[in-house]
Amino acid sequence: MATKAPRENIDESDLSVRAPKTVAVGVPAVVHALQIAQQQMGVARTAQTLLRVNQKDGFDCPGCAWPEEDKRHVAEFCENGAKAVAEEATLRRVGPDFFARHSIADLAAHDDWWLGQQGRLTHPVILDEGASHYRPIAWDDALREIAGALSALDDPDEAVFYTSGRTSNEAAFLYQLLVRGLGTNNLPDCSNMCHESSGAALSETIGIGKGTVSIDDIHAADLLIVAGQNPGTNHPRMLSALEKAKQRGARIIAVNPLPEAGLLRFENPQTPRGIAFGGTALADDFVQIRLGGDQALFQGIGKHLLERAETDAAILDGAFIETYTSGFAAYRDALSALAWDDLVTATGLTEDRIRALGDVVAGSSATIVCWAMGLTQHKHSVPTLREVVNVLLLRGDIGRPGAGVCPVRGHSNVQGDRTVGIYEKPSTAFLDALAAEFSFAPPREHGFDTVQAIRAMRDGAVRVFFGMGGNFVSATPDTAVVEAAMARVDLSVQVSTKLNRSHVVTGRRAIILPTLGRTDRDRRGGGEQRVTVEDSMGAVHASRGRLAPPEEGLLSEVAIVARLCALLFDGATGPRADWTSLEGDYAGIRQHISRVVPGFEDYEQRIAKGRTFFLPNPPRDERRFDTVDGRARFTVNPLEYPRIPEGRLLLQTLRSHDQYNTTIYGKDDRYRGIHGGRRVVLAHIDDIREQGFADGDLVDLVSEWHGPDGLQERRAPSFRLVAYDTPRRNAAAYYPETNVLVPLDSVADVSGTPTSKSVVIRLEPARSPAATGAR
Ligand SMILES: Nc1nc2c(c(=O)[nH]1)N[C@H]1C(S)=C(S)[C@@H](COP(=O)(O)OP(=O)(O)OC[C@H]3O[C@@H](n4cnc5c(=O)[nH]c(N)nc54)[C@H](O)[C@@H]3O)O[C@H]1N2
Ligand SMILES: Nc1nc2c(c(=O)[nH]1)N[C@H]1C(S)=C(S)[C@@H](COP(=O)(O)OP(=O)(O)OC[C@H]3O[C@@H](n4cnc5c(=O)[nH]c(N)nc54)[C@H](O)[C@@H]3O)O[C@H]1N2
Ligand SMILES: [Mo]
């Protein structure tokens, strides 16, 4: 069912702009988090819940994927973790009466923030074809409807199964089995829009699609480069680790177009010193790079190291290069042919500045590069990350203490989901093991990633869309195209904790299955269940919720999938397993995983009593590189960087401090000085003036994209211009509001990730003066 987005009647009249902050966290953050938590869940539940976050035998924070330290604090959570928990543990409810009161058209007129604020979903509901309202449906009937629609497909590839990254290992493993049992690898996931570029670059160059450092390595590093990441907002617990590294003498360099508060200074609320003394200055150096200039920066650093090595061979780790790598000579020659002028243009930094950074790298005894979306969501993200690897290889900075690559993952179990099989391009070894374990023939042909899935839906090739968590409609690029694509599907199913836009923009028929979250107690036939998750550093541990679930009889994700399997696979065809007993006791699923996925041997024992275990990581553990030639690979990557046409700006779409992806907690972005609104575009004052505007003017953002059929334009109306400290011609605005501007076909080479951090836009005076914010 196609609906009109709430974009037309935008009220941002409370918007105000103040000076950005230079210090992150501290007491105001804790107070703010507790306020939000108490509004959602009351005082008693707040205390009961927040004290269990990330404790051994507690539940894993549904916030981010940053690992816990081994020695836990009493309150092992951060402001934004507390908000994520409060969102889920809220006492507000969305039940059948809510859906009776609100038609689809009514819900569609509200934004993601309002939808999320309504509370936890409690009952399965169905939207019949042509109906104006969802109506309640019994669990069994809902599951039979879904199984029926899947069985009726002419070809299993007519179904698409999306996963967001909060799903546990157990649920994810069973879910991929269901999907492959049906006969398709159409398993797009949020990773396709997130760290896919990291996975692609790292698998190719070092033989594993994950980072190679542990939390101890962070503490032990001599130099930490944090590029394209805003940890003060998105991975606040990382700041504690950076602080510890700093206290042990590490240098920290922030590479970012924006001076993000958390990277500059940090007040640790866990330590009295943090509160009393105004915190630690974290970054020793802030490198204000142009959007998309990072490939050039790392090439420049590599070039400088190679030049210095001509007179001082000890600059490079010759023994490492000789023993463990391939491709060095070609890399060296390619870099020597690069012109400094190009590197300067691409980065916006001077040659001297880049060389000085090279000297810092040369002087470091152990270097880690951390990154997130600022490096992964560009057209040339994969080459950019290959260049990061090149620099680390030059100095042997992989596979020894305090050194390595550190892609900082987003969703709390996005890495685990991939490990247990949520992947549209599964390896042969994985499929072979799955086939042997469950006596069936999984499909071998690769499936759709997120962007390919949208194209197939748009073209009418998909009849069933199934979303395991997430908010497909809001999170994906090109909102208008995705909404139309979703409307073409016969049946859309969402397994969700909270209401979001993907429940309102649906297929011709739609089903919502509510489910348990991390914080909820999960009691099944075999007793109270735990699930497991893998953090950003490959450590696996159990998570157990303790709160009374929002509704008796609410099914866990595992139970939903197990029951669908029981309906779909009768033992004659498809995978064979005892679905009922797997639903009753998830230890049975862990046994299957331990036989299918390498590294999970003795799974149950290794997670007992709150223990954590590390999955094998050949580069880290033994400097073994499972690449095509068995070596870590230097690569040659022709320089790329965004060329911004005359009179245009390059827009990055990012997160405010008060949101979790498409879940909006509130309308403030405290550290950046934005209050009471989200429709702002941060730009350099000279660009604002050059374009004929003034700070505070209301503009429409119009993106320009040259597709095969010529110029395409997309418009996001009514954004307030905010003069901000950013490089010239680089602008920033919040996602998901700006997803309307991101063309579906604008994706990263190799990884297919939407280029959410480089969208060419022009500014136009706002057509409709909808928002009248005072400043
Ligand atoms: N509270 C909270 N926590 C979260 C999330 C959330 O929404 N809220 N989301 C989770 C998820 S799924 C993810 S993936 C992570 C995201 O974590 P981040 O990647 O930190 O999130 P973004 O807001 O997209 O910020 C991108 C950062 O990169 C910078 N940047 C943009 N382009 C470039 C570039 O070309 N070069 C460089 N060097 N820097 C650039 C931006 O200025 C910004 O600081 O956070 C996770 N944690
Ligand atoms: N323009 C632009 N677009 C982007 C990005 C960007 O930086 N810019 N970032 C991209 C990135 S990095 C990511 S990861 C994606 C995020 O894409 P998604 O993961 O699809 O989006 P979320 O907003 O995290 O999903 C939130 C919804 O998940 C559901 N949910 C929460 N917890 C659970 C649970 O435990 N179980 C179940 N079943 N459901 C649950 C709730 O209903 C909630 O409304 O967005 C991408 N899109
Ligand atoms: Mo993400």
Q: Is the pLDDT assigned to residue 211 strictly greater than 80?
A: yes
- Ligand closest to CA 63: 1
Sheet of 404-407: strand order equals 285-287, 251-255, 223-227, 367-371, 404-407
pLDDT tens digits for 433-472?
999 999 999 999 999 999 999 999 999 999 999 999 999 9
From the CA atom positions of the chain, what is the Rg in Å?
A: 25
Say if CB 555 and CB 563 are below 8 A apart. Answer: yes
Q: For residue 356, what are the contacts with CB-CB under 8 A and spacing of at least 6?
A: none
Q: Is the pLDDT assigned to residue 773 strictly greater than 50?
A: no
Please report the DSSP string for 673-725 in residue order: TEES---EEEE-HHHHHHTT--TT-EEEEEEEEEETTEEEEEEEEEEEEEE-S
Determine if ligand 1 sits within 6 Å of the CB of residue 660. yes
Give the Cα separation of 496 and 515 in Å (integer): 6
Helix (H) or strand (E) holding 121: strand 120-121
Looking at residue 339, what is its pLDDT? 98
Task: Read off the pLDDT of each residue in 715-727 and give the average, rounded to a whole number.
Answer: 97
Q: Is the pLDDT assigned to residue 275 strictly greater than 50?
A: no
- Ligand closest to CA 238: 1
Determine if ligand 2 sits within 6 Å of the CB of residue 234. no
Whose C-alpha lies nearest to ligand 2, atom 21?
470
Q: For residue 429, what are the contacts with CB-CB under 8 A and spacing of at least 6?
A: none
Q: Which two tokens stand for residue 243?
A: 């602080």
Half-sphere CA count of 326, side-chain side, radius 13 A: 13
Ligand 2 atom closest to Cα of residue 515: 38
- Ligand 3 centre from 353 Cα, in Å? 31
Longest CA–CA separation in the chain, Å: 77
Determine if ligand 1 sits within 6 Å of the CB of residue 377. no
Residues less than 5 Å from ion ligand 3, measured at CB: 194, 410
Residue 404: left if φ>0, alpha if ψ -120 to 50, beta else—which one? left
The per-residue b/e assignment along 488-507, b for 16 or more CB within 10 angstroms, e otherwise, is bbbbbbbbbbbbbbbbbbbb
Determine if ligand 1 sits within 6 Å of the CB of residue 255. yes
- Ligand closest to CA 263: 1
Q: Is the pLDDT assigned to residue 680 strictly greater than 80?
A: yes
Whose C-alpha lies nearest to ligand 2, atom 35?
517
The per-residue b/e assignment along 641-673, b for 16 or more CB within 10 angstroms, e otherwise, is bbebeeebbbbbbbbbbbbbbbbbbbbbbbbbb
Q: Is the pLDDT assigned to residue 264 strictly greater than 80?
A: no
Task: Read off the pLDDT of each residue in 286-302 and give the average, rounded to a whole number.
Answer: 98
- Three-state SS at 281: strand
Task: Read off the pLDDT of each residue in 292-312 and give the average, rounded to a whole number.
Answer: 98
- Ligand 3 centre from 379 Cα, in Å? 17
Whose C-alpha lies nearest to ligand 1, atom 12?
410
Determine if ligand 1 sits within 6 Å of the CB of residue 655. yes
Determine if ligand 2 sits within 6 Å of the CB of residue 756. yes
Query: Among 319, 286, 476, which residue's Cα sits nearest to residue 396?
Result: 319
Looking at residue 271, what is its pLDDT? 57
Confidence of residue 745 (pLDDT cuts 50, 70, 90): very high
Determine if ligand 2 sits within 6 Å of the CB of residue 63. no
Give the Cα separation of 344 and 131 in Å (integer): 59
- Ligand 2 centre from 164 Cα, in Å? 6
- Ligand 1 centre from 534 Cα, in Å? 20
- Ligand closest to CA 258: 1
Determine if ligand 2 sits within 6 Å of the CB of residue 517. yes
Determine if ligand 1 sits within 6 Å of the CB of residue 99. no
Ligand 2 atom closest to Cα of residue 112: 44
Confidence of residue 771 (pLDDT cuts 50, 70, 90): very low
Give the Cα separation of 181 and 175 in Å (integer): 10
Q: In this structure, how many other beta carbons lie within 10 angstroms of the beta carbon of residue 539?
A: 18
Confidence of residue 7 (pLDDT cuts 50, 70, 90): very low
Looking at residue 56, what is its pLDDT? 67
Give the Cα separation of 189 and 420 in Å (integer): 13
Determine if ligand 2 sits within 6 Å of the CB of residue 54. no
CA angle 725, 727, 730 (to 5 degrees): 105
E strand spans, 26-116: 93-94
Give the Cα separation of 434 and 175 in Å (integer): 13
This prediction's pTM: 0.94
Our mutation pick for probing the ligand 1 site, out of 230, 349, 658, counting the most ligand atoms within 8 A of Cβ, is: 230
DSSP state of 479: H
Our mutation pick for probing the ligand 2 site, out of 161, 496, 511, 703, counting the most ligand atoms within 8 A of Cβ, is: 496
- Ligand closest to CA 741: 2
- Ligand 3 centre from 192 Cα, in Å? 9
Backbone torsions φ then ψ of 8, nearest 5 degrees: -80, -35
Q: For residue 213, what are the contacts with CB-CB under 8 A and spacing of at least 6?
A: 368, 403, 404, 405, 406, 537, 620
Give the Cα separation of 397 and 399 in Å (integer): 7
Q: Is the pLDDT assigned to residue 75 strictly greater than 60?
A: no
Peptide bond into 443 cis (omega under 30): no
- Ligand 1 centre from 123 Cα, in Å? 34
Confidence of residue 49 (pLDDT cuts 50, 70, 90): confident
- Of residues 385 and 74, more confidence is placed in 385
Continuous H helices in 56-132: 79-89, 96-101, 104-108, 112-117
- Ligand closest to CA 412: 1
Task: Read off the pLDDT of each residue in 748-763 and give the average, rounded to a whole number.
Answer: 98
- Ligand 1 centre from 231 Cα, in Å? 8
Give the Cα separation of 186 and 168 in Å (integer): 19
Whose C-alpha lies nearest to ligand 2, atom 47?
475
Looking at residue 277, what is its pLDDT? 45
Determine if ligand 1 sits within 6 Å of the CB of residue 388. no
Say if CB 731 and CB 650 are below 8 A apart. Answer: yes
- Ligand 1 centre from 293 Cα, in Å? 16
Backbone torsions φ then ψ of 387, nearest 5 degrees: -70, -30
- Ligand closest to CA 482: 2
Give the Cα separation of 385 and 297 in Å (integer): 11
Whose C-alpha lies nearest to ligand 1, atom 4?
234
CA angle 8, 12, 18 (to 5 degrees): 145
Determine if ligand 1 sits within 6 Å of the CB of residue 61. no
Q: Percent of the chain at pLDDT above 90?
A: 80
Determine if ligand 2 sits within 6 Å of the CB of residue 557. yes
Q: Is the pLDDT assigned to residue 267 strictly greater than 70?
A: no
Determine if ligand 1 sits within 6 Å of the CB of residue 294. yes
Give the Cα separation of 643 and 342 in Å (integer): 12
Pairing relation of β-strands 527-528 and 523-524? antiparallel
- Ligand 2 centre from 470 Cα, in Å? 4
Q: In this structure, how many other beta carbons lie within 10 angstroms of the beta carbon of residue 287?
A: 21
- Ligand closest to CA 85: 2
- Of residues 58 and 705, more confidence is placed in 705
CA angle 251, 253, 254 (to 5 degrees): 145
Burial of 241 (0-12, 13-18, 19+ CB in 10 A): buried
Q: Which two tokens stand for residue 739?
A: 């997803």
Say if CB 184 and CB 444 are below 8 A apart. Answer: no
pLDDT tens digits for 466-486?
999 999 999 999 999 999 999
Looking at residue 618, what is its pLDDT? 98
Query: Among 121, 146, 147, which residue's Cα sits nearest to residue 134?
Result: 121
Determine if ligand 1 sits within 6 Å of the CB of residue 741. no
- Ligand 2 centre from 113 Cα, in Å? 13
Burial of 226 (0-12, 13-18, 19+ CB in 10 A): buried
- Ligand 3 centre from 412 Cα, in Å? 9
- Ligand closest to CA 372: 1
Determine if ligand 1 sits within 6 Å of the CB of residue 194. yes
- Ligand 1 centre from 410 Cα, in Å? 9
Determine if ligand 1 sits within 6 Å of the CB of residue 753. no
Say if CB 720 and CB 453 are below 8 A apart. Answer: no
- Three-state SS at 487: helix
Our mutation pick for probing the ligand 1 site, out of 655, 724, 738, counting the most ligand atoms within 8 A of Cβ, is: 655
Confidence of residue 6 (pLDDT cuts 50, 70, 90): very low
Q: For residue 424, what are the contacts with CB-CB under 8 A and spacing of at least 6?
A: 185, 186, 187, 188, 189, 192, 446, 447, 448, 449, 452
Looking at residue 77, what is its pLDDT? 60
- Of residues 540 and 666, more confidence is placed in 540
Whose C-alpha lies nearest to ligand 2, atom 7?
654
Q: Which two tokens stand for residue 342?
A: 């190009």
Q: Is the pLDDT assigned to residue 92 strictly greater than 50?
A: yes
Whose C-alpha lies nearest to ligand 1, atom 14?
410
pLDDT tens digits for 617-635?
999 999 999 999 999 999 9
Q: In this structure, how many other beta carbons lie within 10 angstroms of the beta carbon of residue 685?
A: 16
- Ligand 2 centre from 411 Cα, in Å? 8
Confidence of residue 132 (pLDDT cuts 50, 70, 90): very high
For each of the domains in the chain, give its residue range(s) and CATH number, in order of start.
124-191+413-515+556-610 (3.40.50.740), 196-407 (3.40.228.10), 649-765 (2.40.40.20)
Q: Is the pLDDT assigned to residue 293 strictly greater than 60?
A: yes
Looking at residue 4, what is its pLDDT? 43
Ligand 1 atom closest to Cα of residue 190: 12
DSSP state of 574: S
pLDDT tens digits for 655-665?
999 999 999 98
Give the Cα separation of 49 and 73 in Å (integer): 15
| Alpha carbon distances (Å) from 671 to 17, 260, 279, 511 | 11, 8, 15, 39
- Ligand 2 centre from 168 Cα, in Å? 15
Helix (H) or strand (E) holding 287: strand 285-287
Whose C-alpha lies nearest to ligand 2, atom 22?
470
Confidence of residue 68 (pLDDT cuts 50, 70, 90): confident
